[in-house]
């Protein structure tokens, strides 16, 4: 039927209409007048009670009077969602703790740089009578102010990002209210302040223990047992304080806080040991003046290894082969280039702990970004492949009554149409399973309605001439012998392999009622199809046309589904033509579903990449701090190099090569782990073969190296231009 209406107003997407999607509100009088011969049915009946006791009584009475009805109270809805909300909250809180930990490492480096530049000032203060406690308070106040400013800026940025996420969610049809909780904002600022104080503790204590005499004489600080013991003690105190902060953030969950913090520390410690070994190996790479046997043997071993790696991971094999060839190229370079490269490699191992920390921060950033990009690319490829390979038809039309005859007679006028298939369809109500009333047969929990939905749509096939194209998981498919019978096949979601715990199997029976409740039919399950079937069916229960026709309501008539294969370039014209032939038909363009899913996935990936990039930004900041501290420590060395003829550009190139190698190696190791993680995710969770795109691997490795080199160049630009006389004046 056609209903002509006049728009009287637009409902705001708030309250009960926040997640309603496409919705038109009309009066019950107009609704019934549009189809006077159709019995009125209700999909939802809302009931308001005085209190919880009356609610429980109403639910009990409804279930007794209407055993097929599904009831849900507000408490049930909240309980059903609370578990998911709690899991998401815990995940976000732990992710936030990881971000705080990375930021804390940045705080340590930043404070070390700031306090190292003020050694003379600290020595003067101690000479003037300042005690260690006074210096603790002084520098602690500075760290607290930095944390306070960072907390305010972080809270403001979080508010802005939350608003952007809300806008993004609205673009995909989900309305999220934007509410600013003052206590949440204040809590964020407080967390920033406390984090700065916790991670600033170690550099502050180390700076306060500087000996004025060593500063005046420009002597290096001793690295005796007492200094090592102090560092270990500070690390233990830092971990305890950070664990206490984590417990507060995790809503006083002591066990989860301890597991999250010390589990992360243990994992990072293992990674640090591994990266320390990598740093040692990289810093010892040879840069010979001429070819020699050892160097050539190393190149041959590297080439052979790259061939083996290529067999399993082609892109990494190619990268390792290219790195092997660099061993030949480096020997052929001019002497000055060799010297710069060799010094850059040796500098990597000079401060092994600092270099390891830098690599670890970059590793985490590249891993998170790479994992999101690779997973998104694989999911998009799988979706595109699924639509391209599995969907035989791209347009589905549902008609009833005379519209079916009209459409079938004029199919030849639809532009671009190359193939059609026709089935029947009806809405049903399952009443019992294996003779047991449905309410008793359904599983306990909050997924009962989903089970009913999977048993409420039935599609009928003319089995004498065609059979469903399915992947059968159990039993058998329908065939010509099932024509005229009540045999059916159902989705494996309803079997023991599904999430609903229904455990239906071939041989079980299901009794269905027509929509008007006047007809009952008992069907026998002969097969269960896999959920990865080609999807060329609208109904979830597949049967012969005989049972579908029997269960169709006489008032509405038999619904016919016409599947069409239409040339992609002419889909829009075909849809317009179908709309003119049968204006009351329901038409669905399956390509729109693929486009919608793709757009939805892109929006989600954009948000995840933006969040993951914060870890990479933290890594860049740590690189900047490490370079600044290295330039401060090498100030005398830079003066000597420039006094013997080194130019500023030569020294800068050493710094850039050093950090470029660190960035490239960190990204390479991160993407190796991404490859393993993607493979496991694909096989264990999605049951698909996932891989990492070569473009993603090369782009992230090159991008990480260039980003590290650019950051190093910007930070070291002024330091490498120091005049030798300024540094060596008193030599």
Three-state SS at 509? strand
CA pair distance 84, 382, nearest whole angstrom: 26
Contacts of 188 (CB under 8 A, 6+ apart): 151, 154, 155, 158
Q: How far, in Å, are 159, 290, 345 from residue 338 at the CA level?
A: 50, 11, 11
| Strand ranges (E), 478-558 | 487-491, 509-514, 520-529, 541-544
Compute the average pLDDT of residues 67-83.
73
pLDDT of 388 higher than 70: no
Cα–Cα distances (Å) from 699 to 367, 417, 535, 690, 695, in that order, read: 13, 43, 36, 19, 6
Q: What are phi and psi of 400, to 5 degrees?
A: -150, 160
- Are the beta carbons of 437 and 469 closer than 8 angstroms? no
Distances (CA, A) of 393 to 269, 421, 713: 54, 9, 57
pLDDT band for position 396 (cuts 50, 70, 90): very high
Pairing of β 520-529 and β 436-437: unpaired
503 in Cβ contact with 512 (< 8 Å): no
CB 518 within 8 A of CB 541: no
Q: Is 676 helix (H, G, I), strand (E, B) or coil?
A: helix
Q: Which of 479, 459, 475 is nearest to 467 (CA)?
A: 479
pLDDT bin (cut points 50, 70, 90) of residue 177 is low
CA pair distance 178, 254, nearest whole angstrom: 31
Report the candidate in 108, 109, 103 with the shortest Cα–Cα distance to residue 632: 109
d(CA 185, CA 321): 51
Instruction: Give the residue among 97, 91, 87 at the shortest CA–CA distance from 245.
Output: 97
Higher pLDDT, 560 or 599: 560
**Is residue 501 within 8 Å of residue 450, measured between CB atoms?**
no
Q: How far apart are CA 161 and CA 155, in angstroms?
A: 10
What average pLDDT does range 282-293 have in this prediction? 90
Of 188-192, 461-465, 549-553, 601-605, least confident by mean pLDDT is 601-605
pLDDT at position 659: 93
Residue 357 has pLDDT above 70, yes or no: yes
- Per-residue pLDDT at 121: 85
Share of the chain above pLDDT 90, in %: 27
DSSP code of residue 462: -
pLDDT digits (tens, 9 = 90+) for 478-527: 999 999 899 999 999 899 888 888 889 999 999 999 888 889 999 999 99
Rounded mean pLDDT of the chain? 84
List beta partners, residue 563.
396, 421
pLDDT attached to residue 375: 84
- Tell me the pLDDT tens digit for each residue of 405-446: 999 999 999 999 999 999 999 989 898 999 998 878 887 766
Residue 656: the pLDDT is: 94
Is residue 421 within a helix (H) or strand (E), and if so which, with residue range?
A: strand 417-433
As a whole number of angstroms, the distance between CA 729 and CA 393 comes to 83
Whether 731 has a pLDDT exceeding 70, the answer reads no
Q: Dig out the tokens for 678 from the structure.
A: 């993607």
User: What phi, psi does 270 have (nearest 5°)?
Assistant: -60, -45
- The three-class DSSP label of residue 514 is strand
Tokens 């040796």 label which residue? 346
Structure token pair of residue 395: 């347009």
- Pair 560, 422: CB distance under 8 Å: yes
Q: With contact defined as beta carbons under 8 Å apart, do 358 and 622 qualify?
A: yes
Measured distance CA(118)–CA(554) in Å, rounded:
90
Residue scoring higher pLDDT (380 or 540): 540
pTM over cut 0.95: no
> Average pLDDT for residues 61-86, to the nearest whole number?
74
User: Does position 19 have pLDDT exceeding 60, yes or no?
Assistant: no
Crossing angle of helices 132-171 and 119-127, in 10° steps, is 140
- Eight-state DSSP code of residue 219: P
pLDDT by residue (tens digit) across 144-174? 898 899 889 888 888 887 777 777 666 656 6
Q: What is the dihedral of CA 651, 652, 658, 661, to 10 degrees?
A: -140
Which pLDDT does position 207 carry in this prediction? 84
């Amino acid at each position: 039927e056609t209903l002509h209406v006049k728009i009287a107003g637009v409902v705001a997407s708030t309250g009960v209409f926040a997640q309603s999607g496409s919705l038109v509100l009309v009066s019950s009088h107009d609704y019934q007048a549009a189809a006077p011969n159709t019995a009125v049915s209700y999909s939802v009946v809302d009931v308001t009670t005085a209190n919880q006791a009356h609610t429980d009584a109403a639910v009990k009475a409804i279930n007794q009077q209407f055993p097929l009805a599904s009831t849900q109270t507000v408490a049930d809805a909240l309980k059903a969602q609370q578990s998911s909300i709690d899991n998401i909250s815990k995940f976000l809180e732990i992710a936030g703790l990881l971000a705080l930990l990375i930021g804390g490492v940045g705080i340590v480096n930043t404070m070390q740089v700031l306090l190292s530049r003020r050694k003379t000032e600290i020595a003067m203060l101690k000479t003037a009578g300042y005690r260690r406690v006074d210096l603790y308070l002084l520098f602690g106040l500075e760290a607290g102010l930095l944390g306070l400013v960072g907390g305010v800026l972080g809270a403001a940025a979080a508010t802005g990002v939350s608003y952007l996420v809300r806008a993004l969610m609205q673009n995909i049809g989900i309305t999220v209210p934007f509410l600013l909780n003052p206590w949440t904002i204040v809590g964020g600022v407080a967390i920033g302040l406390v984090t700065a104080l916790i991670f600033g503790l170690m550099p502050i204590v180390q700076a306060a223990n500087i000996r004025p005499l060593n500063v005046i004489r420009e002597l290096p600080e001793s690295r005796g047992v007492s200094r090592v013991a102090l560092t270990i003690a500070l690390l233990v105190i830092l971990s305890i304080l950070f664990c206490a902060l984590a417990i507060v953030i995790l809503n006083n969950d002591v066990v989860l806080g301890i597991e999250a913090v010390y589990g992360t520390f243990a994992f990072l410690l293992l990674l640090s040991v591994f990266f320390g070994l990598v740093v040692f190996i990289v810093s010892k790479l040879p840069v010979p003046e001429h070819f020699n046997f050892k160097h050539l043997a190393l190149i041959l071993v590297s080439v052979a290894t790259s061939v083996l790696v290529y067999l399993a991971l082609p892109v990494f094999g190619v990268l390792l082969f290219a790195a092997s060839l660099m061993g030949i190229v480096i020997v052929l370079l001019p002497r000055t280039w060799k010297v710069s490269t060799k010094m850059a490699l040796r500098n990597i191992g000079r401060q092994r702990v600092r270099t390891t920390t830098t690599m670890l921060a970059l590793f985490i950033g590249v891993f998170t970004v790479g994992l999101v990009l690779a997973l998104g690319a694989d999911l998009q490829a799988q979706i595109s492949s699924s639509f391209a390979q599995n969907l035989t038809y791209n347009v589905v039309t549902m008609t009833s009554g005379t519209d079916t005859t009209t459409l079938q007679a004029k199919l030849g006028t639809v532009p671009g149409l190359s193939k059609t298939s026709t089935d029947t369809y009806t809405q049903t109500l399952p009443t019992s399973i294996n003779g047991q009333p449905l309410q008793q047969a359904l599983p306990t929990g909050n997924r009962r309605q989903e089970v009913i939905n999977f048993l409420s749509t039935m599609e009928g096939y003319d089995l004498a001439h065609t059979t469903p194209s399915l992947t059968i998981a159990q039993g058998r498919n329908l065939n010509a012998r099932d024509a005229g019978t009540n045999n059916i096949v159902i989705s494996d979601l309803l079997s023991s392999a599904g999430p609903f715990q229904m455990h239906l199997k071939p041989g079980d029976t299901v009794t269905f009622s027509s929509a008007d409740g006047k007809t009952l039919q008992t069907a026998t399950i002969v097969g269960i199809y896999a959920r990865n079937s080609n999807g060329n069916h609208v109904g979830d229960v597949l049967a012969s046309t005989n049972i579908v026709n029997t269960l169709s309501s006489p008032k509405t008539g038999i619904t016919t589904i016409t599947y069409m294969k239409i040339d992609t370039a002419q889909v829009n014209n075909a849809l317009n033509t179908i709309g003119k032939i049968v204006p009351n038909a329901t038409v669905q363009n399956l390509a729109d579903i693929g486009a919608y899913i793709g757009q939805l996935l892109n929006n989600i990936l954009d948000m995840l990449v933006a969040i993951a990039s914060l870890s990479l930004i933290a890594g860049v900041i740590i690189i900047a701090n490490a370079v600044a501290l290295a330039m401060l420590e090498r100030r005398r060395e830079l003066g000597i190099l420039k006094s013997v003829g080194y130019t500023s550009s030569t020294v800068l190139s050493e710094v850039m090569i050093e950090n470029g190698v660190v960035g490239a190696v960190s990204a390479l190791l991160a993407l190796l782990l991404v490859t393993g993680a993607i493979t496991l995710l694909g096989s264990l969770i999605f049951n698909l073969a996932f891989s990492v795109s070569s473009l993603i691997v090369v782009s992230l490795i090159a991008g990480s190296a260039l980003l590290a080199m650019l950051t190093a160049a910007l930070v070291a630009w002024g330091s490498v231009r120091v005049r030798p006389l300024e540094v060596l004046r008193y030599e």
